[in-house]
């Protein structure tokens, strides 16, 4: 009897450990993602070890508290510059860059519907967060996803599933480096090649890399590939 009890305890502990490891990896990927987009995060926050992670987020009952993993980050000066609208002959006083503080929330709920999404949107607007990333363990209902365009004028909501964040796709050797062009760089590129933006090859908004970088419709990314014959070469894609 005692041995089966011990057995069960050991199995439970192992399952708990696996769950913690999954959350640690998702947490790490989302920190890398937020930093890669240009928000300010320290190395310590991004490259936290598993032990440090467990120490920081484990609650009294031994499980990881997702609520404690939530965080916010502000854009770096470089990011603000990349999103700024250049002064042109037509536009002497361009609007300020459409970028701001980002809020990342891990939702523990086993069902995510309209109520949870509405609460998330309200949290973002109440605290003046420009962008929010909602990370869930389950699929969000289709009706709840319709809230995102409905509140788009107030705040920008993106959703990821924990399972999608277990590995950082941009670290895969077959995924080339994607770099977002600033508006000035974009204009210069189109002028240099005498192109309209619609003549560029495209990248979909729903493309995993586009989602990782939080690309918006109309933005242009530079894609840098390594080639054995040509060294490094760049191509450009318009986000549609």
Taking the complex as a whole, the smallest distance from the CB of residue 106 to other proteins amounts, in Å, to: 18
122 binds other proteins (CB under 8 A): no
Q: How far is CA 232 from the centre of its chain?
A: 27
161 binds other proteins (CB under 8 A): no
| DSSP assigned state of 197 | G
What gap in Å lies between CA 179 and CA 209, rounded to an integer?
10
139 binds other proteins (CB under 8 A): no
Residues in binding contact with other proteins, number by CB under 8 A: 13
152 binds other proteins (CB under 8 A): no
| DSSP assigned state of 27 | H
143 binds other proteins (CB under 8 A): yes
What gap in Å lies between CA 89 and CA 87, rounded to an integer?
7
What gap in Å lies between CA 107 and CA 157, rounded to an integer?
14
Q: For residue 224, what is the enclosing H or E element? A: strand 220-227
List the x/- string, 162-191, binding to other proteins by CB under 8 A: ------------------------------
* Cβ distance to other proteins smaller for residue 20 or 155: 155
Cα atoms in the 13 Å half-sphere on the side-chain side of 79: 19
What gap in Å lies between CA 37 and CA 139, rounded to an integer?
25
Stretch of 33-41, 97-105, 136-144, 189-197 lying at the interface with other proteins (CB under 8 A): 136-144
13 binds other proteins (CB under 8 A): no
Output the six-digit token pair for 127: 């605290």
**Residue from 27, 73, 147, 200 binding other proteins (CB under 8 A):** 147
**Residue from 97, 100, 113, 176 binding other proteins (CB under 8 A):** 113
Chain residues binding other proteins by CB under 8 A are: 111-115, 118, 141-144, 146-147, 150
């Amino acid at each position: 009897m005692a041995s089966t009890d011990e057995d069960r305890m050991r199995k439970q502990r192992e399952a708990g450990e696996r769950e913690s490891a999954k959350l640690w990896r998702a947490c790490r990927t989302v920190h890398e993602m937020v930093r890669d987009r240009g928000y300010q995060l320290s190395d310590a926050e991004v490259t936290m070890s598993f032990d440090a992670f467990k120490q920081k987020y484990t609650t009294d009952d031994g499980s990881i508290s997702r609520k404690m993993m939530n965080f916010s980050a502000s854009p770096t000066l470089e990011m603000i510059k990349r999103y700024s609208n250049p002064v042109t002959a037509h536009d002497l006083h361009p609007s300020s860059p459409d970028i701001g503080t980002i809020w990342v929330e891990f939702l523990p709920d086993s069902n995510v519907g309209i109520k949870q999404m509405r609460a998330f949107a309200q949290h973002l607007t109440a605290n003046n967060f420009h962008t929010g990333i909602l990370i869930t363990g389950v699929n969000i209902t289709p009706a709840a996803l319709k809230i995102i365009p409905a509140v788009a004028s107030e705040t920008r909501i993106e959703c990821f599933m924990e399972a999608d964040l277990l590995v950082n796709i941009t670290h895969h050797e077959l995924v080339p480096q994607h770099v977002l062009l600033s508006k000035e760089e974009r204009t210069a590129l189109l002028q240099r090649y005498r192109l309209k933006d619609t003549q560029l090859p495209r990248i979909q908004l729903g493309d995993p890399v586009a989602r990782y970088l939080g690309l918006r419709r109309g933005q242009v990314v530079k894609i840098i590939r390594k080639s054995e014959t040509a060294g490094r070469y760049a191509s450009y894609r318009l986000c549609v």
